[in-house]
């Protein structure tokens, strides 16, 4: 689990003076805007907030007492609840090996026969008590047990957030467990604690593994293995990112593209409110487009399957005014109800679009699935796919395979095509 875990609050819990919090982005025009030429930019930072002016000793003593009283102490109820897995953050990929241990007792593996094991990533919110072990249990397509991957687990206080993933140090241990089999594999993410007797299933599902031959004809057993992620394409996400500002978070919108044929400089996102443009990643210095997540094969060849998350952040479009009184150069969503639409152009042609509505109360209308995360509530909305070099993909995969066998209730994908 990441050592950079930070406090997640729904708004009801006070944050102590020395709590880890997300910083505010200074939107002053005098400041240099964030770089826009980094395709892998993901603007997430964590800092420690401290008081700026020293206090007399007596006041410091009083602050210390108040600080102790404000720190969240896990209750019996919170400990009973245990960790919460943020299911929409789950990513399953493959770890391809350049050999295969057909005989586990042999002195060496079979070379030029490629095999694979799964890799997993997800985010979690505490409490994670001392002694807890998070693990991913895998089953073969025939339902038989395969192996259990014990994941590095740190303690987390109630409401704190962290990342969990297959560690690179596990590669040698996993190499002899690698397989040549493809198909639909099962998984169970579990939290066990022998100190407390906890044995909780956090999530179950399945993932489809396929292969393609990439070796020369003289090496018929060199296959690249990959997890099919086509279900992601019609699913988009909208949120106000509180990692940038707690009081005036900017608007973020995410969607997926497929394949390695996309040229990043030719992509541009434009944001509209009731038909009028209010943001652009091409000309607006407050907005930019990034690719924070790549789901690739180990070889990353040009023709290999690939899925990439595109995130457009509009720093001039904020959830609310907050500390920006008098800033007429910014757009405040809660003051402007109506229809919002982001259009993604590729080489000047429309390839994606997403719509959402803000009600008269200044809030996004919840007409589909949501998920609360440390960075803010995520609204999951359909993406209109109008074109682009995605290649051939399975347009109905979202119905049964979304979120690895955990399809969305109440979600319906939009028809694919220009109309």
The model's pLDDT over 356-393, given as tens digits with 9 standing for 90+, comes to: 999 999 999 977 678 888 778 899 999 999 999 999 99
Give per-residue pLDDT as tens, 241-261: 998 998 999 999 999 999 999
Structure tokens given for 97: 């090996």
Give yes or no: residues 150 and 193 share one domain: yes
**Does a structural domain hold residue 75?**
no
- pLDDT for 43: 33
Contact 233, 390 (CB under 8 A): yes
Mean pLDDT in residue range 112-118: 96
Answer yes or no: are the C-beta atoms of 262 and 268 closer than 8 Å.
no
Beta-sheet pairing, 370-373 with 349-358? unpaired
Residue 418 lies in a domain: yes
Alpha helix ranges (H) inside 171-243: 171-175
In a domain, 49, yes or no: yes
Residues 61 and 209 in one domain: no
Out of 227, 245, 262, a domain closes at 227
Domain membership of residue 9 (yes or no) is no
What CATH number does the domain containing 162 carry? 2.60.40
Q: Looking at the structure, tell me whether residues 258 and 386 fall in a common domain.
A: yes
| Interatomic CA distance for residues 294 and 306, integer angstroms | 7
Q: Are residues 210 and 271 in the same domain?
A: no
* Counted domains in the chain: 2
Residues of the chain with pLDDT > 70, as a percent, come to: 80
Instruction: Assess whether 242 and 357 both reside in one domain.
Output: yes
Task: Give the pLDDT confidence of 6-16 residue by residue, as tens digits.
Answer: 443 333 333 33
- Could you say which of 210, 227, 244 is where a domain stops? 227
Residue 415 has what DSSP assignment?
P
**Whether residue 210 is found in the same domain as residue 255:** no
Q: What 8-state DSSP symbol labels residue 365?
A: -
Same domain as 396, residue 288: yes
Q: What is the span of the domain harbouring residue 299?
A: 17-70+231-419
Boundary of a domain, candidates 179, 196, 227? 227
Mean pLDDT of the chain: 82
Q: Is the peptide bond before 127 cis (omega within 30 degrees of 0)?
A: yes
Band (pLDDT 50/70/90 cuts) for residue 417 is confident
- Alpha-carbon distance of 309 to 120, in angstroms, equals 17
Q: 53 with 92, same domain? A: no
Task: Quote the pTM value.
Answer: 0.80
275 and 418 part of one domain:
yes
Residue 11 domain-assigned?
A: no
Percent residues over pLDDT 90 in the chain: 66
199 with 85, same domain?
A: yes
Q: How far apart are CA 298 and CA 58, in angstroms?
A: 60
Task: Locate 18 and state its tokens.
Answer: 């020395």
> Are residues 323 and 378 located together in one domain of the fold?
yes
Residue pLDDT, tens place only, 296-338: 988 888 889 999 999 999 999 999 998 888 888 899 999 999 9
Tens digit of pLDDT for each residue in 214-242? 988 999 999 999 999 999 999 999 999 99
**Higher pLDDT, residue 69 or 245:** 245
Domain for residue 270, yes or no?
yes
Let me know if residue 2 belongs to a domain: no
Return d(Cα 188, Cα 205) in angstroms, integer.
Answer: 7
Residue 156 reports pLDDT greater than 90 = yes
CA distance 238 to 376: 10
| 102, part of any domain | yes
Whole-number pLDDT of residue 80:
59
265 and 166 share one domain = no
């Amino acid at each position: 689990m990441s050592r950079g875990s930070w406090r997640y609050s729904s708004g009801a819990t006070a944050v102590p003076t020395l709590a880890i919090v997300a910083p505010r982005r200074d939107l002053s025009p005098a400041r240099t805007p964030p770089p826009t030429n980094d395709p892998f930019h993901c603007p997430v930072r964590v800092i420690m907030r401290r008081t700026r002016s020293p206090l007399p000793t007596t006041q410091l003593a009083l602050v210390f007492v108040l600080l102790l009283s404000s720190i969240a102490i896990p209750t019996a109820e919170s400990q009973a609840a245990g960790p919460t897995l943020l299911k929409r953050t789950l990513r399953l990929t493959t770890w391809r090996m350049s050999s295969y241990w057909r005989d586990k007792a042999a002195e060496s593996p079979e070379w030029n026969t490629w095999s694979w094991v799964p890799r997993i990533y997800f985010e979690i919110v505490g409490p994670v008590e001392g002694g807890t072990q998070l693990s991913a249990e895998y089953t073969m397509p025939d339902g038989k047990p395969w192996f259990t991957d014990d994941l590095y687990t740190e303690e987390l206080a109630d409401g704190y957030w962290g990342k969990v993933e297959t560690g690179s140090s596990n590669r040698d241990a996993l190499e002899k467990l690698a397989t040549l089999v493809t198909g639909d594999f099962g998984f169970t993410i579990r939290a066990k604690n022998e100190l407390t007797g906890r044995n909780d299933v956090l999530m179950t599902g399945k993932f489809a593994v396929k292969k393609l031959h990439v070796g020369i004809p003289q090496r018929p057993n060199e296959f690249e293995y990959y997890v099919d992620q086509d279900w992601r394409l019609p699913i988009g996400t909208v949120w106000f990112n509180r990692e940038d500002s707690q009081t005036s978070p900017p608007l973020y919108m995410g969607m997926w593209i497929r394949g390695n044929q996309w040229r990043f400089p030719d992509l541009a996102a434009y944001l509209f409110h009731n038909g009028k443009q209010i943001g652009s990643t091409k000309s607006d210095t407050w907005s930019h487009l990034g690719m924070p997540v790549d789901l690739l094969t180990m070889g990353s060849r040009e023709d290999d399957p690939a899925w990439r998350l595109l995130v457009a952040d509009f720093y001039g479009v904020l959830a609310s005014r907050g500390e920006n009184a008098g800033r007429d150069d910014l757009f405040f969503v809660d003051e402007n109800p109506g229809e919002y639409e982001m259009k993604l152009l590729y080489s000047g042609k429309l390839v994606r679009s997403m719509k959402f509505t803000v009600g008269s109360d200044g809030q996004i209308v919840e007409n589909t699935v949501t998920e609360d995360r440390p960075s803010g509530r995520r609204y999951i909305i359909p993406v209109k796919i109008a074109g682009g070099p995605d290649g051939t993909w399975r347009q109905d995969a979202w119905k049964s395979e979304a979120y690895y066998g955990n399809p969305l209730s109440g979600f319906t994908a939009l028809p694919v095509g220009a109309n």
